[in-house]
Amino acid sequence: MEEKTKKKRHPVTLIIILIALAVMIFALVKIAGIYKDYQESEETFQTLESKYVVNPSGGTGALWQDGTRIQFEALQKENPDIKAWLRFDNYNDVHISYPILYSGDDEKYLRSDIYGNYHIAGCIFLEGLNSPNFSDYHSIIYGHNMRNTTMFGDLKRYKNDEGFYENNQYFNIYTEDKVQRYQIFSYYDVDENDEVYTVGYLPDEAWQALIDRMVAASMKDTGIHPTKDQKVVTLSTCSKAGETKRFVVHGVLVDETAVNE
């Protein structure tokens, strides 16, 4: 009887398989680490909200008038760089409710949480050249476009989701002494060094010219055209349109109420 022989696997093939397995395991570990980082970062902000945002669920009126207040004195003991809180009206749809940090250094909170720990998501922070009391005619707030839609990850839905703008036109900025309500009037992709990243404007023709550019560049005609006497806050995040592209959302100040403690 003829003896059967088993074909031996070539050593090079075994090496390739082992290398592929090692690469796959490394990638899985890396991904798990990233999502763990995402979770830890978001838990930090959720804890802050539960401790220092009073009445975060809202009441019967518009969110910015429902009595929601931020306990800044206690919150700033966690980090004195926390100068404001950003929250969208329709929080059930746009999950943006975060402290706004200001240090004068646009790198400090890019990959750091409020306690100085490294986190991919970093913090929401105000442009270093702005005034931290939101008295400027143009203020810029930066945040990462996270894949799990945390931080400014939901902003891309303005350009991707049909009807999203109509249901999510307003956001609110809470400071120690006031609540400001902004209505979104424009959003679009832009180069990272575009003029839109300029601050320090006065209510003059130069400011009106930039506002006009914001309106003209918008992916959607919102029918809202601010004037040079109005203040604008720009929310800026990364865009998938290219490595040097950013996505900006512009809101014009439409109302303001003093905080009466």
Over the chain (261 residues), what is each successive 10-residue block's mean pLDDT?
55 72 64 60 86 66 64 94 92 86 95 92 96 97 90 94 94 93 97 96 98 98 98 95 87 90 51
Q: What are phi and psi of 174, to 5 degrees?
A: -100, 130
The CATH number for 177's domain is: 2.40.260.10
Question: Which residue is listed with tokens 């929310």?
Answer: 235
**Domain assignment of residue 85, yes or no:** yes
* Type and span of the H or E element at 69: strand 69-70
Report the alpha-carbon distance of residue 137 to residue 129 in Å, rounded. 12
**Domain assignment of residue 26, yes or no:** no
Are the C-beta atoms of residues 119 and 45 closer than 8 Å to each other?
Answer: no
**Domain assignment of residue 118, yes or no:** yes
Residue 54 pLDDT: 81
> Of 202, 205, 204, 252, whose CA–CA distance to 232 is shortest?
252
Q: Which residues pair with 252 in a beta bridge?
A: 183, 232
- 8-state DSSP, 3: P
How many domains does the structure of the chain reveal?
1
**Domain assignment of residue 29, yes or no:** no
Burial 8-44 (b: 16+ CB within 10 A, else e): eeeeeeeeeeeeeeeeeeeeeeeeeeeeeebeebbeb
**Domain assignment of residue 15, yes or no:** no
**Domain assignment of residue 16, yes or no:** no
Indicate the pTM of the whole model. 0.84
**Domain assignment of residue 200, yes or no:** yes
**Domain assignment of residue 6, yes or no:** no
What range does the domain containing 51 cover? 35-258
Joined together, the tokens standing for residue 139 give 């203020």
Residue 173 pLDDT: 95
- Amino acid letter at 152? F
Residues 136-169: tens digit of each pLDDT: 999 999 999 988 888 999 999 999 999 999 999 9
Report the alpha-carbon distance of residue 220 to residue 91 in Å, rounded. 22
* Type and span of the H or E element at 247: strand 245-258
For residue 147, CA distances in Å to 33, 117, 120 come to: 14, 20, 11
